[in-house]
């Protein structure tokens, strides 16, 4: 009754996590946390193209199917992640493109086929699809296009900016009932003006005016306590997307910080970071709670041992709600309290 999912149910908000299929139904404590705490799940990796089609034409839906049935058994809704992304593509695809055996015209057909294969396979079983992920340029990307997309993005560079809208059209044909999301990071909560958030806003506005079926904007929410973040600004950014008539969601929340790397619990090196970690989670959830179109709040990683952060950011960790022994941290009880008061 005091799980995150249960506390959020009366206000029609879903609380979720990214699920690692190497652990679900394998590690009992992990599995019961996923089953009991959350009302939506996202596959951390198993709906990505490299897993779905490791060999061209041979589709591997088994691990994702396992997650979908787990979710159905536990009354959880599924966020599909993701159909068009530049990472975790199958080797046959990237190799074929780079050695010229796959032309751009063929690449377009292969992407279309992939979207129909995957969104079609899960038709009717996906609540929100992250149709396109991370195609807009960050401040540090050298080749932003006039509409703000990243000119060096694999899909945009080969197929042009229109491919992103086409991906939504194909996904909608393959699964007309799923809510189709554009998903990205650094598009909400940054202080001051943010060219990337402005570009995503302008693009969603323009493609919706053209009738492109896009119904949501996902704000990933990967935060780091050493960078500025404003919950009030995030609320404004979410409300601005929602003003276009789309739903919004926090899709990959985590808050990393520098840790004592010799400490198996990944304790932060300073007490300010120990305070900031739960505080930034609290601010993200409160921003979502304040915007009625915010449908879900998904955390990226069930526990600190399972998080992607230490593998990518040297010296950082402590990014999730549960410690490496799967015990709840202050961030967890803070979110519980936010939901109780909402
Ligand atoms: O499956 C292979 C395994 O066979 C191999 O032995 C092992 C050796 O490194 O690698 C395994 O693949 C790893 C894969 O996760 C599955 O565990 C990759 O190396 C690793 O790079 C990959 O990381 C994922 C990352 O996306 C890659 O892009 C993370 O788990 C996942 O949390 C992360 O998620 C992304 C979102 O999809 C999009 N937004 C950013 C977010 C964080 O990077």
Catalytic residue among 118, 190, 252, 280: 252
CB atoms within 10 A of CB 341: 9
ipTM associated with this complex: 0.95
Which of 175-184, 237-246, 269-278 is least confident? 269-278
CA separation for the pair 304, 189 (Å, rounded): 24
- What proportion of the chain, given as a percentage, has pLDDT over 70? 100
How remote is the CA of residue 45 from the centroid of ligand 1, in Å?
7
Which residue puts its alpha carbon closest to atom 38 of ligand 1? 133
Q: Return the residue matching tokens 């840790």.
A: 259
Which residue puts its alpha carbon closest to atom 32 of ligand 1? 308
Can you tell me which atom of ligand 1 is nearest the CA of 307? 32
Which residue puts its alpha carbon closest to atom 25 of ligand 1? 308
**pLDDT beyond 80 at 129:** yes
- Provide the pLDDT for residue 1: 76
> Please, what's the b/e burial string for 100-115 (b: 16 or more CB within 10 A of its CB; e: otherwise)?
eebeeeebbebbbebb
**Residues whose CB is less than 8 angstroms from the CB of residue 287 and which lie 6 or more positions away in sequence, other chains included:** 188, 189, 231, 232, 234, 235, 238, 250, 294
How remote is the CA of residue 308 from the centroid of ligand 1, in Å?
7
How remote is the CA of residue 236 from the centroid of ligand 1, in Å?
31
- Going 318 to 323 to 329 to 333, the CA torsion angle's sign is positive
Catalytic residue among 134, 190, 280, 316: 134
CA separation for the pair 31, 53 (Å, rounded): 26
Q: Which helix (H) or strand (E) holds 129?
A: strand 128-133
Among 18, 51, 86, 88, say which to mutate for ligand 1: greatest number of ligand atoms within 8 Å of CB.
Answer: 88
137-167 pLDDT per residue, tens: 999 999 999 999 999 999 999 999 999 999 9
How remote is the CA of residue 240 from the centroid of ligand 1, in Å?
31
- Phi-psi region at 259: left, alpha or beta (left = phi > 0; alpha = psi -120 to 50): beta
Give the strand pairing for 77-84 and 40-43: parallel
51-67 pLDDT per residue, tens: 999 999 999 999 999 99
How remote is the CA of residue 54 from the centroid of ligand 1, in Å?
15
- Residue 190 annotated in active site: no
How remote is the CA of residue 44 from the centroid of ligand 1, in Å?
8
218-269 pLDDT per residue, tens: 999 999 999 989 999 999 999 999 999 999 999 999 999 999 989 999 999 9
**pLDDT beyond 90 at 205:** yes
For the segment 14-34, the average pLDDT, to the nearest whole number, is 98
Q: What is the DSSP letter of 177?
A: T
**Measured distance between the N- and C-terminal CA atoms of the chain, rounded to whole angstroms:** 15
- Provide the pLDDT for residue 169: 99
For the segment 309-314, the average pLDDT, to the nearest whole number, is 96
Can you tell me which atom of ligand 1 is nearest the CA of 312? 43
- What proportion of the chain, given as a percentage, has pLDDT over 90? 98
Among 45, 49, 305, 312, say which to mutate for ligand 1: greatest number of ligand atoms within 8 Å of CB.
Answer: 45
For the segment 19-23, the average pLDDT, to the nearest whole number, is 98
104-125 pLDDT per residue, tens: 999 999 999 999 999 999 999 9
- Provide the pLDDT for residue 157: 98
- Provide the pLDDT for residue 293: 98
- Looking at the whole model, is its pTM more than 0.90? yes
Secondary structure (3-state) at 15: strand
Question: Mean pLDDT of all residues in the chain?
Answer: 98
Q: Any residues with Cβ below 6 Å from ligand 1, and which?
A: 44-45, 87-88, 133, 220, 252, 308
Task: Answer whether 21's CB lies under 8 Å from 83's CB.
Answer: no
Task: Answer whether 50's CB lies under 8 Å from 89's CB.
Answer: yes
CA separation for the pair 238, 293 (Å, rounded): 9
- Residue 118 annotated in active site: no
Backbone phi, psi, residue 260, to 5°: -80, 100
Domain covering 4-340, topology: TIM Barrel (3.20.20)
């Amino acid at each position: 009754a005091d799980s995150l999912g249960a506390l959020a149910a009366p206000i029609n908000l879903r609380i979720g996590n990214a699920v690692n299929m190497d652990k679900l139904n394998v590690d009992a404590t992990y599995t019961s946390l996923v089953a009991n705490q959350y009302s939506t799940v996202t596959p951390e990796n198993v709906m990505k193209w490299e897993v779905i089609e490791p060999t061209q034409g041979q589709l591997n839906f088994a691990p994702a199917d396992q997650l979908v049935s787990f979710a159905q058994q536990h009354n959880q809704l599924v966020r599909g992640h993701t159909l068009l992304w530049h990472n975790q593509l199958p080797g046959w695809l990237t190799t074929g493109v780079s050695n010229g055996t796959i032309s751009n015209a063929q690449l377009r057909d292969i992407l279309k086929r992939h979207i129909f294969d995957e969104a079609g396979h899960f038709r009717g079983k996906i609540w929100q699809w992250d149709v396109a992920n991370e195609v807009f340029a960050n401040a540090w990307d050298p080749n932003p296009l006039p509409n703000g997309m990243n000119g060096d993005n694999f899909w945009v560079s080969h197929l042009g900016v229109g491919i992103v809208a086409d991906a939504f059209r194909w996904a909608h044909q393959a699964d007309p009932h799923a809510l189709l999301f554009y998903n990205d990071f650094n598009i909400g909560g940054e202080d001051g003006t943010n060219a990337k958030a402005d570009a995503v806003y302008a693009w969603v506005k323009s493609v919706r005016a053209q009738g492109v079926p896009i119904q949501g904007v996902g704000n990933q929410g990967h935060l780091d306590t050493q960078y500025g973040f404003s919950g009030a600004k995030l609320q404004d950014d979410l409300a601005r997307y929602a003003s276009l008539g789309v739903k919004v969601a926090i899709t990959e929340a985590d808050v990393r910080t520098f840790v004592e790397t010799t400490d198996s619990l990944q304790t932060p090196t300073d007490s300010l970071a120990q305070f900031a970690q739960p505080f930034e989670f609290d601010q993200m959830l409160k921003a979502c709670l304040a915007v009625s179109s915010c449908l879900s709040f998904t955390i990226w990683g069930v526990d600190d041992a399972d998080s992607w952060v230490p593998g990518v950011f040297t010296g950082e960790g402590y990014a999730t709600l549960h410690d490496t022994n799967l015990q709840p941290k202050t961030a967890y009880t803070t979110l519980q309290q936010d939901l109780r008061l909402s």
